[in-house]
Amino acid sequence: MEFHGKKILITGAGGFIGSHLTERLVNLGAMVRAFVRYNSRNDRGWLEILPPSVKEKIDVLMGDLRDSESVREAMKDIEIVFHLAALIAIPYSYIRPREVIETNVIGTLNVLNAARDYGVKKVIHTSTSEVYGTAQYVPIDEKHPLQGQSPYSASKIAADKIAESFYRSYELPIAIIRPFNTYGPRQSARAVIPTIITQALTGDKIFLGSLHPIRDLTYVEDVIDGFIKMVEIDDIIGEVINLGSGFGISIGELAKRIITLMGKNVEIVFDSRRVRPAKSEVEKLIANNSKAVKLLHWEPKVSLNEGIQKTIKWMDGNIEMYKPCVYEI
């Protein structure tokens, strides 16, 4: 499928992954409508820092996923939907579970209902590796059991299953993409890599929670390649596809690697506020990406060291956008 001239809706376009996807699709010639959560500051998130030549081509519509009328307005005349919008912070989901569930579950229902009513040609629904919970086996394939170990992960399991039901019940042309831990420029400090980098750039201590959990990290541009391929390949309908490197690294080893690549002499300090409840902590996430390799012809191209170096460089040049001394939930 060619993207030039296609009318595309991206929910969550102002976020980390959403802004990269928006930029890529505009550069491919797509007509992008960006759905961004309303705020009184007219703040469009990371879309604000895109090159003017890209920003001027984006049709921005502000609203709330929980408001079906806003979503229906955004869906008019749309051919393809990339649904990324969600409340994603796990610590926030512990203190505001209702808001997280309403946004992620009801919001997804609103997107799917509108897409069905308007006859959208394809919907790509964004899942997360958090739906798997702590690995019962590794690497984790798409048949791994789903486990709601936080209100956030439970909300995403529900959203995924509603998406699946719309495919099975109404033949809505939908596919589910399930990235493991994505990182790169523009990521918020609630994620571990920006937390480490921004603290190392501005001080001599890095405050972290548990160091033993293992994560599978993929650079954002590789993840965007996966999103693009989910639409380019016409017969990817009704599928759930993992995007991950297949390589796991502990948070402690990751921190040491980043510190080494930065050439910094900093101390890692344990901060109990950053520790998940014991039964909620996801101990190990390592992707089996063989389905993505087979169906999408996708494999990550950027090594962990290369991706970290790119991220360090960007964050060093944009450190004023972060608050390293504040624990972001």
Q: Express as a percent the part of the chain with pLDDT over 70.
A: 100
Q: Please give the pLDDT value at position 329.
A: 82
Cα 217 to Cα 259: distance, rounded to the nearest angstrom: 17
Residue 141 lies in a domain: yes
Q: Please give the pLDDT value at position 1.
A: 76
What pTM, to 2 d.p., does this model score?
0.97
Cβ contact 109:79 at 8 Å? no
Q: Is the pLDDT of residue 91 over 90?
A: yes
Residue 27 lies in a domain: yes
pLDDT digits over 14-47, tens only? 999 999 999 999 999 999 999 999 999 999 999 9
Residue 326 lies in a domain: no
Q: Please give the pLDDT value at position 178.
A: 98
pLDDT digits over 146-155, tens only? 999 999 999 9
Compute the mean pLDDT over every residue in the chain, rounded to the nearest whole number: 97
Residue 262 lies in a domain: no
Residue 153 lies in a domain: yes
Q: Please give the pLDDT value at position 53.
A: 97
Residue 254 lies in a domain: no
Cβ contact 229:297 at 8 Å? yes
Q: Please give the pLDDT value at position 135.
A: 96
Q: Please give the pLDDT value at position 327.
A: 85
Q: Please give the pLDDT value at position 328.
A: 80
pLDDT digits over 167-219, tens only? 999 999 999 999 999 999 999 988 999 999 999 999 999 999 999 999 999 99
Residue 58 lies in a domain: yes
The mean pLDDT of 303-313, rounded to a whole number, is 98
The mean pLDDT of 300-319, rounded to a whole number, is 98
Number of domains in the chain: 1
Using 50, 70 and 90 to split pLDDT, how confident is the model at 221?
Answer: very high
The mean pLDDT of 245-271, rounded to a whole number, is 97
Structural domain including 288 reads: 7-249+275-321
Here the CATH number for the domain that contains residue 168 is 3.40.50.720
Q: Is the pLDDT of residue 232 over 80?
A: yes
Residue 329 lies in a domain: no
